[in-house]
C-alpha cells in the first residue's frame, strides 16, 4: 500500500471499473479522493462508500470531461474545497469500434474529445495549483491498442497513442516544478465491457496473452497508485504496460 495521507487526488470516470479500483486504492492510502463521473450517480456514491471504507475521504463531482470550462471548474472547485491537488488520474475513455472506411465523423470527434482533449483540459487546469505547490503526479490511462494498433480501432488507437506523446512532453515541461507525468497502458482487463464479449472472442483474446488470463482492475490500480506515490519520485515520462505480456 502506498501512502497518501494529507494528499488530494482527482480521478476521472471513477464511478466504475478501473477508475473505481484506482480511486479505492488511493483512498486506502489515506487520500482525499474526488471522483469525476458522467451520469450514474448511484455508482458514484458506491465508489465514495468504498473509498471511505478503505480509509480515505471521498467526494463525487458530475461534469463533462469533453467540456473545457467544466474541467477547469472541477479542478478549481476541488482545490478550493480541499486546499490543494496532488494527484490527477485521467481515466475517462471511450471506444467506438468501426473500420476506418465506415467511421463517422461524430464518432471520431467523440473519441478525440473524451480520450485526448479531456486530458489536455484537466492537465492544464491541474498544472497551476501543482506548480504553486511545487509537487504533483499526473497519471494518464492509455491502452495497449495505442502502442500496437487493432483492426476496427484506428480512431481509438490514435487517441491513446496521442496521449503518450502528450504525456512525455508534459513531463518535460513540468519536471522543474517537481511534477511528474506518466502513462499506464492496460491490456485486456476484466471489466463489464470484456465480460459482455462472446466466448469465442474472449478465447481468442486469451491466446494473445502469455500469462493466459485477463488482468484485473485492481492490478492496474496498483501500478497507478505506485506512480502517484512518493515511491515513484524519480519516475516521469514513462509508459508502464499492464498487459500480461501481450506487448513486450
The 10s digit of each residue's pLDDT in 129-167 is 999 999 999 999 999 999 999 999 999 999 999 999 999
Tell me the percentage of the chain whose pLDDT exceeds 90: 93
Quick: pLDDT tens for 42-61: 999 999 999 999 999 999 99
pLDDT band at 201 (very low <50, low <70, confident <90, very high): confident
For 117-120, the CB contacts below 8 A with 24+ separation are 117/66, 117/68, 118/12, 118/65, 118/66, 118/71, 118/90, 118/92, 119/90, 119/163, 119/166, 119/167, 120/166
* Residues forming beta bridges with residue 242, ordered by sequence position: 186
The predicted pLDDT at position 14 comes to 97
> Parallel, antiparallel, or unpaired for β 136-141 and 87-90?
parallel
Evaluate if residue 192 carries a pLDDT over 80: no
- For residue 9, with 0-12 CB atoms within 10 Å meaning exposed, 13-18 middle and 19 or more buried, which class applies? buried
pLDDT of residue 120: 98
Give me the mean pLDDT over the 221-227 stretch: 98
Residues known to be catalytic: 156
Q: Which CATH number applies to 8-242: 3.40.50.300, 3.10.20.600, 3.40.50.720, 3.40.50.620?
A: 3.40.50.720
pLDDT band at 195 (very low <50, low <70, confident <90, very high): confident
- What pLDDT does 199 receive? 87
The predicted structure's pLDDT at residue 96: 96
Domain spans of the chain, in order of start: 8-242
Amino acid at each position: 500500500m502506498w501512502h497518501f495521507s494529507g494528499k488530494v487526488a482527482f480521478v476521472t470516470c471513477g464511478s466504475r471499473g478501473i477508475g473505481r479500483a484506482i480511486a479505492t486504492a488511493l483512498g486506502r492510502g489515506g487520500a482525499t479522493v474526488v471522483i469525476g463521473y458522467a451520469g450514474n450517480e448511484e455508482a458514484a456514491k458506491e465508489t465514495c462508500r468504498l473509498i471511505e471504507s478503505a480509509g480515505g475521504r471521498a467526494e463525487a463531482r458530475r461534469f463533462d470531461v469533453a467540456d473545457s470550462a467544466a474541467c477547469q471548474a472541477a479542478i478549481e472547485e476541488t482545490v478550493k474545497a480541499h486546499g490543494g491537488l496532488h494527484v490527477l488520474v485521467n481515466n475517462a475513455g471511450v471506444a467506438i469500434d468501426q473500420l476506418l472506411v465506415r467511421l463517422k465523423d461524430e464518432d471520431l470527434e467523440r473519441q478525440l474529445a473524451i480520450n485526448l482533449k479531456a486530458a489536455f483540459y484537466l492537465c492544464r487546469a491541474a498544472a497551476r495549483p501543482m506548480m504553486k505547490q511545487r509537487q504533483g503526479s499526473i497519471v494518464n490511462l492509455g491502452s495497449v491498442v495505442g502502442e500496437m494498433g487493432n483492426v476496427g480501432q484506428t480512431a481509438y488507437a490514435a487517441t491513446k497513442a496521442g496521449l503518450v506523446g502528450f504525456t512525455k512532453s508534459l513531463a518535460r515541461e513540468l519536471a522543474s516544478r517537481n511534477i511528474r507525468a506518466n502513462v499506464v497502458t492496460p491490456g485486456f482487463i476484466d471489466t463489464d465491457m470484456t465480460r459482455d464479449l462472446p466466448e469465442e472472442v474472449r478465447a481468442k483474446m486469451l491466446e494473445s496473452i502469455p500469462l493466459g488470463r485477463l488482468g484485473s482492475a485492481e492490478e492496474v490500480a496498483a501500478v497507478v497508485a505506485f506512480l502517484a506515490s512518493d515511491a515513484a519520485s524519480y519516475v516521469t515520462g514513462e509508459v508502464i504496460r499492464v498487459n500480461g505480456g501481450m506487448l513486450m
